[in-house]
């Protein structure tokens, strides 16, 4: 697949990544390692919490999103990486056997302060499950390599 | 240990959690699962990237921070959970064998919209390594149970 560069991102553009299955075993395993709170580990504790049932860590939703971006976007984009996060909202619990998908919308593109060979892409990622429930919204920025920089390094 | 409630949080208050060791094996393992980009997986690719060496995923720093908050704060705080993120900045690479620590500063406390038995705590988490390098800053909000709610449910 052709490499994507900064110049290929435009405000309003959308891309969709996933779906990716998240099993109960993965939810409990992630929580045990990174967010060992009872409502992420046991059904009964989840029922007694605001999640109203076993619900995955919000950070698990973030990490599955990161995986979809790494495979769906960064793998064929020049020198792409997350630069920062401006907002994360967890809007619905992450349930066992969810199939998460990411809809990325480009909000803005701009020059990078101090890195003339990169540009900055501001994006909104809406993460939905197989019922189109909006589970998480993440707004953040990527740095992406410019086409001119790649041409320069090849010449 | 005595349970902490919303009423125990005050602007300007600081707490410190960790340190927690992050090994090279953990860095590569996390990246393989959630952020499989070459600079998080191989030394040579890291050298050629903006990280200037093998550097962990920024999401790994986030997840290790989540673990320290879960163990150090949520475990003895009533009905506490992350409510949202207002900013994440990655300020230095996550290197092998870092010992990360979190300094949490309470920015603000306020009533929760629609949840009278909870309050909202805005916090800044500065995550540093063993050299006091600031690796990440995370600004976000927690929901925390109120003391009155606990007294009510016990009565």
User: How confident is residue B154, by pLDDT bands cut at 50, 70 and 90?
Assistant: very low
Query: Are the Cβ atoms of A37 and B90 closer than 8 angstroms?
Result: no
CA-CA distance, A78 to A84, in Å (whole number)?
18
Residue pLDDT, tens place only, A7-37 = 999 999 999 999 999 999 999 999 999 999 9
In this prediction, what percent of chain B has a pLDDT beyond 90? 84
Residues A100/A9/A142/A117 CA torsion (nearest 10 deg): 150
List CB contacts (< 8 A) between B92 and chain A.
Answer: none
CA distance A50 to chain B (A): 9
Structure-block tokens of residue A141: 């920025």
Q: What is the DSSP letter of B56?
A: B
- What region does A83 belong to: left with phi over 0, alpha with psi -120 to 50, or beta? alpha
Q: Is the residue at B137 inside a domain?
A: yes
Residues A91/A45/A40/B20 CA torsion (nearest 10 deg): 120
Query: Are the Cβ atoms of A86 and B82 closer than 8 angstroms?
Result: no
List the single residue in B57, B71, B89 with the smallest CB-CB distance to A84: B89
pLDDT at res. A155: 38
Residue of chain A minimizing CA distance to B89: A84
List the single residue in B58, B64, B84 with the smallest CB-CB distance to A90: B84
Residue pLDDT, tens place only, A110-146 = 999 888 999 999 999 999 999 999 999 999 999 999 9
Residue of chain B minimizing CA distance to A49: B79
Angle, CA of B148, B153 and B154, to the nearest 5°: 100
User: How confident is residue A154, by pLDDT bands cut at 50, 70 and 90?
Assistant: very low
Are B27 and B16 a contacting pair, CB within 8 Å?
A: no
CA-CA distance, A97 to A140, in Å (whole number)?
27
Are B142 and B8 a contacting pair, CB within 8 Å?
A: no
Q: Is the residue at A1 inside a domain?
A: no
Count of A-B CB contacts under 8 Å: 84
**Residue B42 above 50 pLDDT?**
yes
Q: Is the residue at A55 inside a domain?
A: yes
**Residue B155 above 60 pLDDT?**
no
CATH code of B105's domain: 3.10.129.10
List CB contacts (< 8 A) between B63 and chain A.
Answer: 33-35, 59, 63
Q: Is the residue at B47 inside a domain?
A: yes
CA-CA distance, A99 to A23, in Å (whole number)?
9
Are B103 and A97 a contacting pair, CB within 8 Å?
A: no
Residue A147 in contact with partner chain B when CB distance is under 8 A:
no
Residue pLDDT, tens place only, A54-78 = 999 999 999 999 999 999 999 999 9
Domain span holding position A111: 6-154
In this prediction, what percent of chain A has a pLDDT beyond 70? 97
Q: Is the residue at B67 inside a domain?
A: yes
0.85 surpassed by complex ipTM: yes
CA-CA distance, B123 to B108, in Å (whole number)?
7
pLDDT at res. A114: 82
Q: Is the residue at A41 inside a domain?
A: yes
Pick from B43, B16, B13, B7: nearest CA to B127: B16
Q: Is the residue at A38 inside a domain?
A: yes
Determine the length of chain B: 155
Phi, psi of A150 (to 5 degrees): -65, -40
For B80-85, what is the mean pLDDT? 93
What is the number of domains present in chain B? 1
Q: Is the residue at A123 inside a domain?
A: yes
Can you state the percent helix, strand and coil of chain B, rounding each to 5? 30, 40, 30
């Amino acid at each position: 697949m052709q490499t994507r560069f900064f110049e290929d991102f435009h405000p309003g553009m959308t891309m969709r990544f996933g779906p990716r299955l998240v099993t109960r075993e993965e939810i409990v395993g992630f929580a045990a390692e990174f967010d060992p709170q009872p409502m992420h580990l046991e059904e009964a504790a989840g029922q007694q919490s605001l999640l109203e049932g076993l619900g995955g860590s919000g950070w698990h939703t973030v990490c599955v999103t990161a995986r979809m971006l790494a495979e769906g976007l960064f793998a064929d984009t020049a020198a792409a990486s997350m630069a920062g996060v401006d907002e994360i909202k967890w809007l619905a619990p992450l349930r066992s056997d969810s199939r998460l998908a990411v809809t990325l919308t480009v909000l803005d593109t701009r020059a990078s302060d101090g890195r003339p060979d990169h540009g900055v892409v501001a994006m909104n990622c809406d993460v939905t499950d197989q019922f189109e429930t909006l589970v998480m919204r993440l707004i953040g920025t990527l740095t992406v390599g410019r086409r001119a920089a790649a041409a320069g390094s090849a010449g």
